[in-house]
Amino acid sequence: MTTRDTPPAPPLPMAPDAPPTLRPRPAGRRPRTATGPPGQGAIMDCAVYVDGRRQEAVSPGDALRVAEERGGYVWLGLYEPTEAELEAIADEYDLHPLAVEDAVYAHQRPKLESYDDALFMVLKTATYVEHDQLTATSEVLDTGEVMVFLGPRHVITVRHGEHGGLAELRQRLEQQRELLCLGPAAVLYAVADLVVDTFVEVVAAVEEDVEELEASVFSPQRTDDIGRLYQLKRELMGLRRAVLPLEAPLQKLAERPVEVVADAMRSYFRDVHDHAIRVRDQVSGMDELLTSILQASLARATMADNEDMRKISAYAGIIAVPTAIAGIYGMNFEYIPLSTSAWGFWLIVLVILGSIALLYTGFKRSGWL
């Protein structure tokens, strides 16, 4: 846990109708401890934008006032805020308590919710985990979340997970004044576009693993790829959960009028929606291909087992003939044909060898050996 040199400032005053207490965090997740003034420990960046330009540095406590006075908006970036930190920010920006609860609790599916004149959007992020060779226990994907609170004078991004940083995105956006002039919705578009573009890169990397498994399953060598196939299919399910539910929120932003989203932004969201549909189709196609490869691998394993059983049965049949002849002539009888002949032994050996050769040739021609 890190410490700060400055003593904690007094907490922000609570609104008369304070939001209800959030439910406890799920077991197994270690909450981050707030070490500064309430609401500021999780802040990665805070900026006010007026006419598409970033203003001089302002404190998070003054950012909303400055934005209202100058006719701009605030972009506040948070990383895994604690309940106390986000509640303090919620009081200042009038965030809905249900959306605040989702942002703190995390583990949400992609969605878009409207609260009066504000929007709350959840996006799942994903990154490809590099590995030398895919195994039955390899981690292929790492997922996280980005929540976006969108209002007339503010956009608040809340990030969960070790990847999906928005610092580079903010720098790129600050070079596009025309886009930032379209209001806080421009930030929501940029975040959604970044998330979907990352999905495209992840899908391309996963396709290489699928191709490697496909080549392994249909190679002349005998391989056991069922475990690796199942693991990749399981990891791909996480990507499906991130991509498929995202289509409906993007479609709503692209086609329906939304109060806090300028009409000029619809074409931007329509472009992101088209990319999301393409990623969805790629993920669905890979999932179906993995299912087919898994079935082919199971069929090949079954055929290999049947082939082994045929070989075992063929050799058992070959060995049965000399065993039966030797067993008969080993019986304790006085009168057995050829048992007293001088050349009887060699004749019996010749019969055994001939029967072995005949059976071997027959099994070989039938493909059992």
Spans of all domains in the chain:
43-301, 309-366
Contact of 55 with 47, CB cutoff 8 Å: yes
Structure token digits, residue 229: 């196939």
43-301 and 309-366 agree in CATH topology: no
Report the distance separating Cα 210 and Cα 218, nearest Å. 12
* pLDDT-based confidence at residue 40 (cuts at 50, 70, 90): low
CATH number (3.60.15.10, 3.30.460.20, 3.40.710.10, 3.30.1280.10) of 43-301 reads 3.30.460.20
Alpha-carbon distances, residue 273 vs 120, 146, 172, 241, 251 (angstroms): 18, 17, 21, 16, 6
| Tokens linked to 287 | 């999932």
**Of 69-73, 84-88, 248-252, 307-311, minimum mean pLDDT range:** 307-311
Q: Check: pTM over 0.85? Answer yes or no.
A: no
Domain 309-366 has CATH 1.10.357.10: no
Average pLDDT over residues 118-144: 89
Residue 349 φ/ψ, nearest 5 degrees: -60, -40
Where are any strands of DSSP class E within the chain? 43-50, 53-54, 73-79, 111-115, 118-128, 141-150, 154-160
Evaluate if residue 41 carries a pLDDT over 70. no
* pLDDT score at 6: 40
